[in-house]
Amino acid sequence: MDTAFNYDRFAGHQVLRRVAGPLLDEFEVSTKVGYFPDGHSLDPVRLNQAVAESADTLGRTPDTVLLHNPEHDPDRLADACETLAACVRRGLCRAWGIATWDPRPLVHAAAEVKVRPDVVMVRAGLSVSEPVLYAGEQFTTMLGADDVWGMAPFAGNPSDPVWSKVDATVFLQPGQQATAVQAGLAAAFALPAVSRVAVGTSCPGHLDELAAAVRLVPSTQMIGEYRELLRARAHGKGDLRAAHPG
């Protein structure tokens, strides 16, 4: 279960605890810190306070705390990472990591990070451009992260008409039955390679549909061809429509 300090107008942790009650202990919970009522900040004091407040409001120690979009202040990335690593040592969370919507500004800053994150969370799926995909992979490798998670497989809007126009089932290994949305989620696990993908819970029907998609296996060949087309497009060559025959 993934949340953040600033979700639901900074009331997300409180709402989650009230709604989930004792069931919250049955879930693995990750949250994010970095946004405050007056804006984004990677100030170590504020990050420490946010992590401590998160644990207190949730009524339990978060399993993972992620830096929320540190690309807004890449020069402070190294210090912010040290701060979250210290939070783990103090028992305020069990693991720490980084959640980035656009890792490109962070690649250079990664060279200054001396602590190894447990997790890096990046955008995943067919809506992500090749420069962002590549930067996420490069950033994760440079940090030596133990695990990679994905988020926003439908760019935050699974009801966008584009998802009914794209035949995402071409990205599955043959012989599998799936809706376009399910196939899109399966592809997200390979674009880039991630172990988990965070999806929204506001629509139970949509969540049920996506939960059934975790059994699907993407086609390594089609994913590879798609990445080649993305690279060609990023360099002003090729036609991306070739990835969606028909």
Burial 16-40 (b: 16+ CB within 10 A, else e): beeebeeebeeeebbbbbbbbeeee
The strand ranges marked E within the chain are 30-33, 35-36, 39-40, 64-68, 95-100, 119-123, 147-151, 196-198
Looking only at the bridges linking them, the beta strands covering 30-33 and 64-68 are: parallel
The residue to which tokens 């969540």 are assigned:
207
Residue with tokens 């970095």: 34
- Give this prediction's pTM: 0.92
List per-residue pLDDT tens for the chain, 246 residues long. Answer: 999 999 999 999 999 999 999 999 999 999 999 999 999 999 999 999 999 999 999 999 999 999 999 999 999 999 999 999 999 999 999 999 999 999 999 999 999 999 999 999 999 999 999 999 999 999 999 999 999 999 999 987 777 888 778 889 999 999 999 999 999 999 999 999 999 999 988 888 889 999 999 999 999 999 999 999 999 988 876 544 434 433
What tokens does 175 get?
A: 């012989």
